[in-house]
Chains A and B, each alone.
Chain A
Amino acid sequence: MSSHGIRDRVAIVGMGCTPFGEHWTRSADDLLIDAVGEAVTSAGITLDDIDAYWFGTQASGVSGLTLSRALHLPHKPVTRVENMCATGSEALRNACYAVASGAYDMAMAVGVEKLKDSGMSGLSGTVIPGAGDDSRGEITAPANFSLLAPAYAAKYGLAQDELKDVITRIAWKNHVNGARNPRAQFRKEVPPERIRSAPIVAGMLGVFDCSGVSDGSAAAIVVRAEDAHKYTDRPVYVKALSFVAGPADGLLDPAYDFTTFPEVVASAREAYRQAGITDPRAELALAEVHDCFTPTELVLMEDLGFSERGQAWQDVTSGVFDLDGPLPVNPDGGLKAFGHPIGASGLRMMFEAWLQLRGEAPPERTVRSVAEGRSLALTHNLGGGPGECVSFVSVVGSELTD
């Protein structure tokens, strides 16, 4: 088996991201037109310059026509991709490979999702077709991820109350960050006691333990690394792109203990190998991770190698991942505060890496680590749930490796 990676072969030279939130007056078309427009403007190009598109949406459209019709693209290749909540990242990964292969000079990845038109709460468009005999039964996304909480508490000897404090702090931290982000869905800090006492949705999770249900779009323009400076002085180089679909045996195999995502461990290991990272907590300037629900972020800190096994809850409590901590996680507010329009989220994470590594994030939420010399950012996307998921990890950087 050999996975070669494409470190420093391609660069992102333009990005766009709409505000995420309840866009009652705007359609999926409106949102993607805005995100694409912002990306094109930031790269100083026109749509005529783009050779091919990878378009990600989970439930807001099918086929490449969803994008080409909205933009009235003249006979360009548009590939629609879908990989659950990692859809936006999957669009970017494919666009990068298309350019790295030499097939195209310039590719665009676009992600969009319109969740708020359904009138339903939660991810209504994400019903996963099962075997069709309906023996799986419906379980909602918060319930699915809440399965992590009692298992983690039991394994590491935490009382339910102690774990509730830990996940409350994760929500609080991400709301603090989102409050400093004009594009975020939720822009208010929320006191911990309000998070803790919010109505319970599933298991230990209250409404503030869940990501925002929102509409939004984001886009990225990818070129060969050697062409990057034609478009920008501050390109963001792709160091690693790693994606795995797990064997989906966690709900079949008693060996799986619901305190980890093996898919994340595998995709992170591969990404670190491609990027040449040995100590992610010390080397990364920031990480944007898939905090769909607060226990997910807790477990991810261990799976991504930011914390030792069984230690993430202490690192969360001591502020390691705060905006001013040693490794800021989700400085843009994360899925929790920025919102989670499925197909757009992976590209939204990349947008934050883009802003931070280029020094363009607003001062009130700029991470210190970039000024202190770190130049790498990680994005992580996850789709599915404990026991059955897909995972994406990217590493990008503002400097070429020597």
Chain B
Amino acid sequence: MAGLIAYGAYVPYHRLARTDVAAVLGTGAGKGTRAVAGYDEDTTSMAVEAARGALARDGLRPRIGQLFLATAAPAYLDKTNATAVHAALGLDEHVLAADMAGSVRSGLAALVTAARSPVATLTVLSDLRTGLPGGGDEVAGGDGAAAFVFGGHRNGAPVLAELLAHDTVSDEILDRWRLPGAPASRVWEERFAEEIYVSLADKALSGALEQAGLEREAIDHFVVSGLHARACASVRRTAGVAPEAVTPDLTGTIGNAGTAQPGLLLADVLDRARPGETIALVVLGDGAGVLLLRTTDALPAHRGARPVAAQIAAGGAPMPYATYLSWRGLLDREPPRRPDPEPPCAPPAHRRSGWKYGFVASRCEKCGARHLPPDRVCTSCRSVDAMTAEPMEQVRGTVATFTVDRLAHTPSPPMLVVVVDYDDGGRFRCQLTDATEADAVIGARVEMTFRRTVTAAGVHNYFWKARPVRAGGTGEARG
């Protein structure tokens, strides 16, 4: 049986309290928080983080045959974004990497495509939800990513959840839309689509259950996802599934991550489901889709490296609303009186992609000295071209010295800079992210994270930063 062989989720560190939006804008106060992608994150970088979580297990990366990145907020148009994810993961060049971008429904499409693909497929759902200040989408939205690898027995990897069946129905319906470049979606009067979605969900669910030969009572975890909150609530209530099987939608803590929401909710269920349980994932949007999965005995030993609940718990204290607005480009702050940042040059970024995207260092074969970035000449014994590539993305380090740069260009001043000495050798100076000044101290433990360091002249500069190792949260990496 084919099925899911790995998964991972990424919830960014930052949170926005809905009451803070209300306090600043004088609107009605919402409850809870939403997850906020850092100023140095986009759907591509979050996709990398989620995929790293899914591929933390040894031996998985070489099995991947194709990669799909689904997002409604692609970092680039025309240019493929999945290739940056591919480069950061160091996948083989023959692995197809392609975007499924533009619509929230692309998340469902990527999951279904992966689930029924004959080759092991890494599918990453990533989204960064925004809206106009004070709008419903802004406070209800959330940012995050989730990654899944579907494969099966042909691939030799243990299946964590068998794919029992899937079904989709498509429907052209104008309930939510956005012109390219517009800052926010527009929605039709909500009640118009609610009944339609309830009906579409029922069709898809019935279709999938019928294929699997199951009744609705057999569903142990009923996951309903979609941007139409009223419709999702109706489906949860009326689908004929036991109320205790209906899973929480996490919107109170991280918001609705759009394209990534079904992924985050499924990952959260997989974090806790027991072997032999049936999961129904329902996704609403321009139709409906259902995936039916049954967990296996292999699940407990191979859960995602970073549980969703732990990442939620490890989130930072809510950030000021003004900071959120400036990170989103909705509040244009005075830049420092410094020359504008330069974009990376295409040829060096291409010829050094192993370093820039993959964070692959080199180690001297003669004396063992490790070099970040990779060098041709050894700093220690001066041997030339006697280097072995050494991936560093999983290697942790310790801060040797640090500074707080209050003049440097950064969308979120001041810039924290640390000199990191890596476990088992090597040193690199880089930015510290998801951190406060109190985290920048000599001796602090850090790990690496893939970020968009700056966007200059219309070019996103992707590179790695350090972040504090945090117990129980995004800092914990197993495998």
Q: Which residues of A contact B (CB under 8 A)?
A: 118-122, 124, 127, 131-135, 137-140, 142-144, 146-148, 150-151, 154, 200-203, 247, 249, 251-254, 256-258, 387
Contacts and interface: CB of A to CB of B under 8 A. Distances in A.
Contacts of A134: 342-345, 349, 356, 453, 461, 463
B348 interface: yes
A395 to B, nearest CB: 31
A251 B375 CA distance: 13
B421 interface: yes
A143 B403 contact: yes
Interface string B337-375: 111011111011100100110000000000001011101
B408 A138 contact: yes
Nearest to B372: A252
Contacts of B408: 138-140, 143
Given A139-B408, A143-B407, A254 B352 contact: no
A121 B407 contact: yes
B447 to A, nearest CB: 17
Nearest to B420: A254
B19 interface: no
A36 B198 CA distance: 86
B406 A137 contact: no
Given A201-B407, A247-B379, A258-B419, A139 B402 contact: no
A137 B403 contact: no
Contacts of B28: none
Interface stretch (B58-66, B263-271, B287-295, B422-430): B422-430
6 contacts: A121-B336, A132-B344, A138-B408, A143-B415, A200-B406, A251-B427
A149 to B, nearest CB: 8
Contact of B401 (A138, A253, A258): A258
Nearest to A132: B348
B352 A133 contact: yes
B184 interface: no
A162 to B, nearest CB: 16
A143 B349 CA distance: 26
B380 A253 contact: yes
B407 A122 contact: yes
B409 interface: yes
Interface of B: 336-339, 341-345, 347-349, 352, 355-356, 369, 371-373, 375, 379-380, 400-409, 415, 417, 419, 421, 425-431, 441-442, 453, 461, 463
A147 B419 contact: yes
B442 A150 contact: yes
**Taking each of B355, B441, B442, which has the highest tally of chain A beta carbons within 10 Å of its own beta carbon?**
B442
A142 B348 contact: no
**Taking each of A146, A154, A253, A256, which has the highest tally of chain B beta carbons within 10 Å of its own beta carbon?**
A253
B345 A252 contact: no
B349 A133 contact: yes
Contacts of A131: 348, 352, 373
**Taking each of B352, B379, B453, which has the highest tally of chain A beta carbons within 10 Å of its own beta carbon?**
B379
Contact of B371 (A135, A247, A252): A252
A143 B403 CA distance: 6
Contacts of B404: 143, 200, 202-203
A133 B426 CA distance: 20
Contact of B427 (A127, A139, A200, A252): A252
Nearest to A200: B406
B463 to A, nearest CB: 5
Nearest to A145: B403
B356 to A, nearest CB: 5
Nearest to B403: A203
A133 to B, nearest CB: 4
A254 B421 contact: yes
A200 B404 CA distance: 9
Contacts of A257: 400
Contacts of B380: 253
Contacts of A249: 379
A202 B403 contact: yes
A147 B403 CA distance: 6
A139 B369 contact: no
Given A120-B338, A132-B349, A253-B380, 12 more contacts: A124-B338, A133-B345, A134-B345, A135-B352, A135-B355, A137-B429, A143-B404, A143-B408, A203-B403, A251-B419, A251-B427, A252-B426
A252 B379 contact: yes
Contacts of A154: 442
B430 A201 contact: no
Nearest to A134: B344
Given A131-B373, A134-B349, A254-B425, A146 B403 contact: yes
A147 B344 contact: no
A257 B352 CA distance: 28
Nearest to A388: B429
A110 to B, nearest CB: 26
Given A131-B352, A135-B355, A135-B463, A253 B405 contact: no
Nearest to B382: A247
A321 to B, nearest CB: 25
Contact of A127 (B339, B345, B373, B421): B339
Contacts of B355: 133, 135
B338 A139 contact: no
